[in-house]
Structure 1
């Protein structure tokens, strides 16, 4: 039973119009004129009742999206990308992408400008944010091109990391404090005291998804928007495919699922203390303490702990990234769009954005696929023909 009022930790993230004036969530980012002009374009796109009737002159897009990725959703996605930018550099980068070299902030009947903004919105939805919102949280998601040896190595890395994370987190789910089921069963009957009231199968939640670390285009977006460089970052996420203690939380399976479905997230308070926030009260039912303080149990579990450093805690930058992604996708309405794409992709067995064939019959590489919106149309078409609207 919780000792706090869950309603105080519920945040309504239903799709919402962009605020009329730009205010960054990170109060340390001072809005400049380029930020404001880009935001004005996002507001203008949000207000468009429909995509233009005539296709853009560039011929990149032979027709306009017709489904859930409406101008309203695209405009909100771009606007909230600005609002929730974790860093000033990220805000600058998104603003430049939205502006595309334009000096004015009025769309009017400029189909090419609308197309450019649609491309940016789709890239972030289908290439970057897609990694944070998975239909299945089961580990391990084996890569299609993994050899048996590399897969075995990946499993071994995960097993070692999970053991270290469980040791750090006292063999419990970080949020619910449920004892890991495997650890509980390893205890002698005399040690299974009544003080252990809740047991759950625990697993690792990767704050920066493993799949993203392996996706070069998404890695560049991560660097540009969030200021996280998986190659030079102090945690070295690229070299270990995201398998570092700084990048994981120990959670129950249901808690991991709620994170990946963007129902719960952590908001930093101070130090290692975080609020556990959720979209509705039931998702906080199993969270006994709120706010909670992350701590490493390694120093108290070893006789020689006085001379041994504690195992590293989850990086607050990565925790903040999860929160920002949740807010952007929920508030913009893009979460429903990505969910639909993932569902159709899973049902049809369609691959991701690599390996699709272009109009000329040649294999389209990821760079070409992501720079040409017509390829994006076919990418998630689930086998549909060229003349089928797939959004």
Structure 2
């Protein structure tokens, strides 16, 4: 399994007004070096992420935090960790309740999470539990409004929506490629679905708490219930591009000194960009009735994509989701019991990752 890229060894955070962050980043470097410098000294794995990925995930959270308060909050949680076990637990908390919240396919709901170094996180989570509103499953109105706003095209490839073309809503200028589009949520709509399950309630409250503390997004107010379908949280994307966006393989970075809605299109691998423009600028015929995607949501999505790939967590999440899907199939048909046992033991940490 890939373990991402090494953390920059130079601690860029100063020892003056960034002392807390400097100390936290140093802890990440120490854990990383323990794993790399003496591979024979096995650090027990806590959770689904290897210790090396945990070190890099926490370090990347500090490097890529979209707001200063988010960086400070993570640093505070890191320095409270008493040992390597608690650092790993903290990394897994962010993997489960920040990175995985962008994936449309999330697999099993993670077990209820808490962390001894993050009391303010637990307070915020408990506050949000009582405020959760279940998301309506239908978002046809939002999809239609987004298509109108986006001129019936994928916002990244500019390909024409097939159904809109066939119904006469959009005209082919003679050079357009037709594609099936979907209503893509930046912050995924499934977070607040199925709230009759207490584990799902705990998961959703944890997600909203981390979005608030790390990303500065008051999602319990902005995206609760039906609000998750607001146009500020929606992109019109072709089907395959939507999947890549949801899996953090494609993201958008605001162009420095550009308009507020101009972005560079980035990807985890250049192959994802072959059909896309390097830059896009979003426009709307009516900023009031048909608002564009919120730059704050896209900034958080981009930060999480970079964190996931640079740390190696993206590959771990992909493997976890794949194994969960295989487990469902094997458990259903009763075949390949040896492979099923192997996967289950890996998930329990009995076999070394």
Band of TM-score, shorter chain: 0.7 to 0.9
**Aligned match for 1:342, one of 317, 321, 328:** 321
Match in the other structure for 1:280: 269
Question: 2:240 aligned with 1:254, yes or no?
Answer: yes
Match in the other structure for 1:219: 208
- Tell me the TM-score normalised to structure 2 length: 0.75
Question: 2:217 aligned with 1:228, yes or no?
Answer: yes
Aligned equivalents of 2:59, 2:347: Cα separation in 1: 33
**Aligned match for 1:296, one of 272, 280, 284:** 284
Match in the other structure for 1:240: 226
Q: Between Structure 1 and Structure 2, which shows a larger proportion of helix residues?
A: 2
- Tell me the TM-score normalised to structure 1 length: 0.68
Aligned equivalents of 1:242, 1:23: Cα separation in 2: 37
Aligned equivalents of 2:60, 2:270: Cα separation in 1: 24
**Aligned match for 2:56, one of 67, 70, 76:** 76
Shift in alpha-carbon separation, 1:65–1:310, aligned structure 2, 3 A: same
Deviation at 1:52, TM superposition (A): 6.7
Unaligned runs of 5+ in 2: 108-132, 194-203, 330-342
For the 8 Å contact 1:134–1:342, the answer to whether it is kept is no
**Residue-by-residue CA offset, 1:117-142 (whole Å, 9 max, x unaligned):** 010011111232112234589xxxxx
Aligned equivalents of 2:348, 2:49: Cα separation in 1: 18
For the 8 Å contact 2:184–2:234, the answer to whether it is kept is yes
**Aligned match for 2:93, one of 123, 148, 156:** 123
- Larger radius of gyration between Structure 1 and Structure 2: 1
Shift in alpha-carbon separation, 1:92–1:152, aligned structure 2, 3 A: closer
Deviation at 1:22, TM superposition (A): 3.8
Unaligned runs of 5+ in 1: 1-12, 25-29, 55-63, 102-111, 138-149, 300-308, 351-380
Aligned equivalents of 1:14, 1:264: Cα separation in 2: 20
Aligned equivalents of 1:330, 1:387: Cα separation in 2: 23
Match in the other structure for 2:137: 154
Give the match's secondary structure for 2:290. Answer: coil
Deviation at 1:90, TM superposition (A): 0.7
Match in the other structure for 1:100: 80
Deviation at 1:197, TM superposition (A): 2.3
Deviation at 1:240, TM superposition (A): 1.9
**Residue-by-residue CA offset, 1:66-89 (whole Å, 9 max, x unaligned):** 897222111000000000011111
For the 8 Å contact 1:264–1:283, the answer to whether it is kept is yes
Match in the other structure for 1:199: 178
Shift in alpha-carbon separation, 1:292–1:74, aligned structure 2, 3 A: same
Shift in alpha-carbon separation, 1:31–1:281, aligned structure 2, 3 A: farther
How many aligned residue pairs are there? 297
Aligned equivalents of 1:340, 1:385: Cα separation in 2: 11
RMSD of the TM alignment (CA)? 3.3
